[in-house]
Structures are given as C-alpha cells and as structure tokens.
Structure 1
Amino acid sequence: MRFLPEHRSPRVAVVGFGYVGCCLGVALAENGITVVGIENDPALVARLRAGQCPVPEPGVTEALARLAGSPDLSFTTDYDGLLDADVVVITVGTPVDEHGSLMTEQLERVCEQVAPRLRPGRLVIVKSTVVPGTTRTLVAPLLEHGGLTQERDFGLVCCPERLAEGEALAQIGELPVVVGGSGPEGVAAAARFWERVLSVPTRVLPSSDAAETVKLATNWWIDANVAMANELAQFCAAFDIDVTDVIGASNSLPKGAGNVNILQPGIGVGGACLTKDPWMAWRAAMDRGVRLRTIDTARRVNDGMPAYTAEMILEELVKLGRDPAAAEIAVLGVAFKGGTGDLRNTPVKEVVGHLRGAGARVRMYDPLVDPDRMRAEMGATVADSLDDAVRGTDAVALLAGHPQFRDVPPERLRDLVPAPALVFDGRSYFTAEEIARLRELGFHYRGVGR
C-alpha cells in the first residue's frame, strides 16, 4: 500500500505537545500543513488554544500567537482528533529511571490510544528518544493490536529528534531528517513526507534500530566532547594557559571528514537530553553485557562541574580579601544554555546552591526565564534588571551566555560594581580584548580554564 495522499497536503497529528511536539507542530502549521496537537493535560491544551507558549524556545511564542485560532493548528485532549490525520507523529517524553533504564509508560499509553484509531494508509512516525529495538518490538506490536498490520496497512518509522535548543525552528527547516523503518513502503512515505512539508533532505537508514541509535550516539558524543573540554580547561588552569587559545588552535587540524572539533568548556551540562540519553545508552548496553566506560566517565565529569565552578568563585573572592560568607554575588543567566529560557536540569541551580551553602547572598537575573519560575526553582533572590542584580556586589558570575548580555559594556559594570570585584566567566563569553579591558577597569577576571 502506498502511504500518504497524492493530491493534497497531508494532515498531521502530533501526539505530545512538549518541547519537541510544540516546535515541530508550530513549524508544520507555519508551512501551511493542517496540524492537530493531542495532549493529555487539559490546562496545557487551554493555554495552547489561547496562543500561550509552554516552551522557552526563541520564535515559538510568536509563531504560536500568530497561529492562535487558525484552522492550521488546533489542540485537543481527545485522541479521536487523529482520525482524520494522514500522519501521526509521536513526541511523548521518554524518561529514564534511577538506573538509566528507559521508562516506556507514556509511549505505551499513546500507542494503546492510537491503535484502535489507525486507518489503512496512515503513516506513524516515532520521534521520541528510545533504545534500539523499541519501535520494532514495542510500538509495532501495540499498534497492530488495533487490527492492522505494519507495512501492509500502515507505515511505521523512527525519525529521531535532533534539535538544538535555541535554534530549533531554524533547524527544523534545515537539518536532514534521519529515517529508519521495517519496510520500504513506510520508509519511502516518511522520506516523501519530510521532503514535501519541510523541503528538507532525508538520511535513510536500513532499520528503525539504527535510527534510534543515531539520537543516542549524537548526545553520547556531545556529552563526551564537553567532558573532555571541561577537563582540558582544568588542565590548562593548572598551567595558567587560556583554554580557548588551545581549543582554537587544536580545531584547526584536519581530521577525518572535517577538523578536530573540541567544544567549549562550561559550568556543566543541562537540559532534557544530554543528562539522560547517554545513561539510556549505557543501561541498554549493560543489559546486553557491554560496559560503556566513556559514558560513565563523561557523565561524572560534567556532573562535577557545578561544584568546581562554585569553588572557583569562592576561591577568587578569598584572593580579593572578601569573606565568602559575607559576599554578595550576582548570577547572570540561570538557563542551562545561552539563548534559551529552559531551566530543565540547569547546572546553574547547583552552582547557586553551593554558593548559598557557603553563606553568600545570591541575586539572579535572566532575561529569558520567567521570574516567578526562577524564584520557585532556584530559591535565591531574583532581580528585576541586570543593573539591580549587579549593583554593589562583590562578584558578577556570567553562567549562561545569552546574546542580551553582549549589550553590557565593561564600563557599565564599572559604574555599578565597586572595584576590585570578581567577574567570573562560566561560558567563555568574553574575548581576550574584553578581558583586558575588564582588568584595565580594575576588575579581577576568572573563567573556566581562563
């Protein structure tokens, strides 16, 4: 059977309107595709219908507001909403337990709801992050309980989500989509779908197992690369070398199909994926008798960075003759990543906790995070503006590299912060020229590996 309609745009149901579902659903609707978002939470559905965005992703709020009330994007808690859909995209959360094992309850519940509502000719796309074999051995049998047969009656593929927060909407329209399935008809339909609705190329793999592994491999690599950068930063600090000089020169070496590509060090790793997906791969490998040592090591290195960061800040205050227990510290940026307002697993929370545990008074400011949520989750004082956050403090710690902070010249800090004070750079934010200017103005500078 040939899946997808030939002479009209496909109608799409996105099941699960969290971060991935929201970004994808909005992008498809903005491209003129009719999308229905299915979400179990009635309060969230009410917010979405009102054009209120639950996702701290640049551009999504504005797009959702533009689409509010449009027939191109609707929302419901009723799974009957997918009856008219040609394509069902599953984007529900797939957390891990304390042992790193994939928890499939949400995925199973969705499949049980989708199965009796599938119609011949439909295409089901799994975008949730799962371990190899999940689409083939869990999703497919659950969907076939509805009476249809995969590949004969409906297509089933895995197309793993690979978006980088802060760049999601742009990447949806640019990144090649990985497609892996159990049969040629479903795979061909999925490739046609992505090329038609988003005009993006596809990378077809021989199985859904391989496609599922792509997401795990990608975040495994990122986490391990960041861990190396973080340990390289500590190595460079021991020799009074600027790690950014070393990384810049190292990355000029051709290697393989590209160059050496050491990422930037920082105060730790956060978000929903990098803190979870490597453990998912580690656990799945352990269940098959394989010990993945790089994952275990990288996770421990990156999880140790918030404490290391706080210790550096406190040590530098002591060097300036300040008592950490009486110090006031401004934290600029509390999101886990620059350019986004996402607080999920942000390493800044642990940094702030260590500073407050040493007796320091912390003021926080983040232009991209809701102040009430920041106050509830972080516990420290929330300032209304950058000026209010830094005025009169002993240290200014830049812990998320938001573009908005680029508009703050060193001279402005001098007018607000009495010298000598510490400027701590947790994200390799300042250039060598900016660091020199800070020092000329009487500031004491320190960064991760700098």
Structure 2
Amino acid sequence: MSVTAAKMSFSPLEEQLMNKLQSRRAVIGVVGLGYVGLPLAVEKAKAGFRVIGFDVQAGKVDMVNQGINYIGDVVDDDLRQMVKAKRIKATAEYSFLAGVDAVAICVPTPLDIYQQPDTSYVEMSTREIAKHLHPGMLVVLESTTYPGTTEQLVKPILESSGLRCGIDFFLAYSPERIDPGNKQFKTKNTPKVVGGVTPVCTRVASTMYRAVLDGEVHEVESPAVAEMEKIFENTFRNINIALANEMAILCNRMGINVWDVIDAAKTKPYGFMAFYPGPGLGGHCIPIDPFYLTWKAREYNYHTRLIELAGEINNSMPEFVVERIAFILNEEKKAINGSRVLLLGLAYKRDIDDIRESPVLKIIDDLLRRGADFAYHDPFVARCQHGGAAYESQPLTKQTLEAADIVVITTDHSDTDYELVRHHAAVLFDTRNAMKGRAVAGKYYRL
C-alpha cells in the first residue's frame, strides 16, 4: 500500500491526532508524577511537546512548577529548563484533561494486605479522565498491572462517557521500564512496547512514543500481550534472583564462595546469564509484579508454583541475613541482644534513594525484635520513618565503624568509603560482595 493510500485509510480523528503528534503540536498529559511519570513528562517536554503533569500531592506539584527535581533519574537542569520554557507545568486539578490530546496514566498499583492487586488508583484516574474524554483523545496506561486491566477495567470506564474506543478515542497499554539508578538505559533510550485495543489505537500510541523516544517502539497485538510482557520481564528476574539466593544459602553451608561460583559460570559465552544474591528484593517492581500474575492465574484455575516458590525464597533472605549476623556475633562470643549493628545502606539498590519494599527495613525489624542496637549509614537516605520511629543516617567515620560489634553492607552504594570500612570494621559481613578485591583488616564474612 502506498503512503498516500495509507493516509486515505485514516479516520479524520486519527489523522488529526497523528498530525499533531508528528508535528509536536499535541498537548500531552501525565497523571502521576512519581518515578515513572516525571521522567516521562520531562522527556515529552524535551521532545517539543507542551506537557501538563497531574499529581494528588500538592508538594510535588509545587516542586515541579518551581523547577525543583525530586527524582534521581531526572536531570535537574532538564526539568528547570522545561519549566522555564513553559513546556511543562503541573496541577492538582483534573480539569486540565479537557485541553490535552493524549494522556498517560502513571499511578501506583500496589498490593493490598492480602497480596492482591490494588487498582484503585488506576480506576480513580480513569474515572476522572472519562469525565473530560473528548473525540480524538489518546489514553495510555503505563502502570504495571495484571493482563486484562486495560480492556476489562479501563476501557469500560472510558466508554461510559458515550465515546467508542478505537473510533472516537484511542486506548493502549505501554508498560513502564524504569530502572532507577541505571546509568546506561533511561526513559529516552529504553525500547518501548505498545499494545492498543485496536490496530488504530496501536498506531496512534506508537506515533506518540516515536516522537519522544530514541529507543525502538515494538508493537504487539493487544494490551494483554503488553501487560503480560511486563510481568514476564520482572518475574524472570525474580525467579533467577531466587536461584542465586538459594545457591548462596547452600554455598554458605558447604563453605563455598558463591560469588566465585557465579564469576566462573558467567565465563560461558552462551546459555548463562549472571544474577546475584543479596539481602532480599526491594522496589515497586520485582517483589510485587509476580503477585499480579499469581492472583490472575487463579481465575484460570492455575497455580503458579515456580513463581510463588521464588517469592518465598526471596522474601526469606532478610531473615537469613539476620540469622547470619547472629551466627557471626556468636563466633565473637557475643549475643545479638544488645549488640551494636551498623548497616551500610538503607535503599533497596545501589546509588538511589528509594527505600520502597527495601529488604533492609525487614532486617531492621528483625534486629529490633532480637534486641539489637542498630544504626545505619546511607549517603542517599539522610532520614526515614519506619515502624512509627524516625531514623537518621549516621556519618561514616573511624569512630562509628569501631564502635560497632558488626558492620553489615546491605546496599553497595558507589559513594561509600570502602577504604575506611576495610581498615576500621573489626567484623564485616558483606551481603553484596562490595569488598571484592579489597583486603579487609578485620574478620570478613560474605553472604
């Protein structure tokens, strides 16, 4: 089919929106200005679009409008320049939706107390969008969720407006792929998966992302494929990390260095991908996403045994770490009750300030239950609230290290002074292999 013929097949609404997207004249909304939404809003503004961001938290709205960044993966000056150029602004009023051509939903999808998906934020946002939905508008869900959410939850709410999906408005799912702290892959250059409710919806949504991103835009046949793909990505990581954690537990019992085992295994140029053990999983993706799938699987009378077992192994790692702490202290003829434990790192992964679902918080809870006196140092997390108490990061000094009965590396931040640690920690337990290649003056234990 020729380009001219292809254009002739476009509906007037599709052609109008496609032209706006390709010429960067479209106004784009982003609902939710967190770890996913703000980087996406900034990239859309940098691509030449006028962007309006929405968040229920007035503090975030005020910070964005002042050009003050609060997300590690956003360059401070990028946000500042986009606000100054009037390319991006934020609001706490849903009425802005009446004036946008496209909107991305980037709200949280947590689990409830029964480990079941809580889609209330998605549902609430969609209902507000439906109030302002207008012909020719594109809606894209980016929040991680279970297969079927876009077509079974979002679509009916939007169509309650009287407009028809794929004809009067366009709807697609495109999963976020944010990896906080990743120095190589950011929102701009990470490939994007897009699945529309209809082929027209896919085409329109893909046009928007191609106008914004440098990464490949990969089109799939439906939102359900894109939703499942996202969960598969994180379930893959969850299961392989669980295998690495189980190997670490077994290697500890056998007196084998698990890190050397992995280094040896990854010399094979095919059939092996290196995953590493640690004190547990954190963040909003890997520990949570597989539960969306296990919940949905029950609807089809299927029990996801491997996925659930991997979750059990990963969830047990904080307890395993505390058991090791107790064992190491016992080797030093000390009880964990009353011992001073210094944790190096509170964030769930290296070089970020995110403590959501951090395994270190579970380690702290277990230490407190056992009567330990703990302190933490984290260059990215100056203070935190947890379990009804407030904690502050302690300075990493010779005195702080020497005062501890055991120092535990729980997050391998690049900015940690490991030279100071290796010289002044009398007993060091390394759960991240951060001391690899460094000679430790005191007693040294690995995960």
TM-score scaled by structure 1?
Answer: 0.89
1:250 matched residue in structure 2: 265
Separation of aligned partners in 1, 2:205 and 2:170? 8
For the 8 Å contact 1:374–1:382, the answer to whether it is kept is no
- For the structure 1 residues 238 and 206, does the alpha-carbon distance in structure 2 shift closer, same or farther, using more than 3 Å as the test? same
Question: Aligned to 1:13, what secondary structure does the other structure show?
Answer: strand
1:447 matched residue in structure 2: 446
2:332 matched residue in structure 1: 320
Question: Aligned to 1:227, what secondary structure does the other structure show?
Answer: helix
Question: Aligned to 1:163, what secondary structure does the other structure show?
Answer: coil
Separation of aligned partners in 1, 2:43 and 2:184? 7
The structure 1 residue matched to 2:421, chosen from 413, 419, 425, is 413
For the 8 Å contact 2:280–2:314, the answer to whether it is kept is yes
For the 8 Å contact 1:336–1:342, the answer to whether it is kept is yes
- For the structure 1 residues 425 and 225, does the alpha-carbon distance in structure 2 shift closer, same or farther, using more than 3 Å as the test? same
Per-residue CA deviation, residues 10-39 of structure 1 (Å, 9 max, x unaligned), is 321001112211221123223433211111
Separation of aligned partners in 2, 1:408 and 1:238? 27
Report the Cα offset of residue 245 of structure 1: 1.7
Question: Aligned to 2:260, what secondary structure does the other structure show?
Answer: helix
- Unaligned stretches of 5+ residues in structure 1: none
Separation of aligned partners in 1, 2:208 and 2:202? 10
Separation of aligned partners in 1, 2:260 and 2:359? 25
For the 8 Å contact 1:177–1:201, the answer to whether it is kept is yes
Report the Cα offset of residue 169 of structure 1: 8.8
* Greater CA drift, 40-49 or 288-297: 40-49
Q: Does 1:426 align with 2:431?
A: yes
Aligned runs of 1:383-394 on 2, under 5 Å? 383-387=394-398, 389-394=400-405
- For the structure 1 residues 182 and 233, does the alpha-carbon distance in structure 2 shift closer, same or farther, using more than 3 Å as the test? same
Report the Cα offset of residue 384 of structure 1: 3.5
2:6 matched residue in structure 1: none
- Unaligned stretches of 5+ residues in structure 2: 1-10
For the 8 Å contact 1:223–1:274, the answer to whether it is kept is yes
Aligned runs of 1:304-315 on 2, under 5 Å? 304-315=316-327
1:136 matched residue in structure 2: 151
RMSD: 2.2
Aligned runs of 1:343-362 on 2, under 5 Å? 343-362=355-374
2:5 matched residue in structure 1: none
The structure 2 residue matched to 1:109, chosen from 94, 116, 124, is 124
Separation of aligned partners in 1, 2:121 and 2:422? 52
Separation of aligned partners in 1, 2:50 and 2:397? 42
The residue identity in structure 2 corresponding to 1:444 is K
- For the structure 1 residues 328 and 150, does the alpha-carbon distance in structure 2 shift closer, same or farther, using more than 3 Å as the test? same
Aligned runs of 1:24-423 on 2, under 5 Å? 24-55=40-71, 57-61=72-76, 63-167=78-182, 170-255=185-270, 259-371=271-383, 373=384, 382-387=393-398, 389-405=400-416, 407-409=417-419, 412-413=420-421, 416-417=424-425, 421-423=426-428
Aligned residues with identical type, % of pairs: 29
- For the structure 1 residues 327 and 8, does the alpha-carbon distance in structure 2 shift closer, same or farther, using more than 3 Å as the test? closer
TM-score scaled by structure 2?
Answer: 0.90
Report the Cα offset of residue 111 of structure 1: 1.4
For the 8 Å contact 1:329–1:363, the answer to whether it is kept is yes
For the 8 Å contact 1:58–1:339, the answer to whether it is kept is no
Separation of aligned partners in 2, 1:377 and 1:384? 23
- For the structure 1 residues 309 and 359, does the alpha-carbon distance in structure 2 shift closer, same or farther, using more than 3 Å as the test? same
Give the number of equivalent residue pairs. Answer: 431
For the 8 Å contact 1:339–1:403, the answer to whether it is kept is yes
- For the structure 1 residues 389 and 74, does the alpha-carbon distance in structure 2 shift closer, same or farther, using more than 3 Å as the test? farther
Question: Aligned to 2:403, what secondary structure does the other structure show?
Answer: coil
Report the Cα offset of residue 292 of structure 1: 0.1
Report the Cα offset of residue 389 of structure 1: 3.8
- For the structure 1 residues 35 and 399, does the alpha-carbon distance in structure 2 shift closer, same or farther, using more than 3 Å as the test? same
For the 8 Å contact 2:43–2:212, the answer to whether it is kept is no
Report the Cα offset of residue 378 of structure 1: 6.5
Report the Cα offset of residue 206 of structure 1: 0.9
- For the structure 1 residues 380 and 314, does the alpha-carbon distance in structure 2 shift closer, same or farther, using more than 3 Å as the test? farther
The residue identity in structure 2 corresponding to 1:12 is I
Report the Cα offset of residue 323 of structure 1: 3.5
2:24 matched residue in structure 1: 8
Separation of aligned partners in 2, 1:149 and 1:331? 55
Per-residue CA deviation, residues 39-89 of structure 1 (Å, 9 max, x unaligned), is 12333322332334444x244555434544541110111222122322210
For the 8 Å contact 2:343–2:377, the answer to whether it is kept is yes
The residue identity in structure 1 corresponding to 2:26 is P
The residue identity in structure 2 corresponding to 1:78 is E
For the 8 Å contact 2:199–2:221, the answer to whether it is kept is no
The residue identity in structure 2 corresponding to 1:289 is N
Separation of aligned partners in 2, 1:63 and 1:390? 39
- For the structure 1 residues 157 and 386, does the alpha-carbon distance in structure 2 shift closer, same or farther, using more than 3 Å as the test? farther
Report the Cα offset of residue 376 of structure 1: 7.3
Separation of aligned partners in 1, 2:118 and 2:340? 42
Separation of aligned partners in 2, 1:98 and 1:43? 27
Question: Aligned to 1:336, what secondary structure does the other structure show?
Answer: coil
Separation of aligned partners in 2, 1:172 and 1:61? 15
Larger RCO of the pair (alpha carbons < 8 Å, separation 6+): 1
Report the Cα offset of residue 242 of structure 1: 1.1
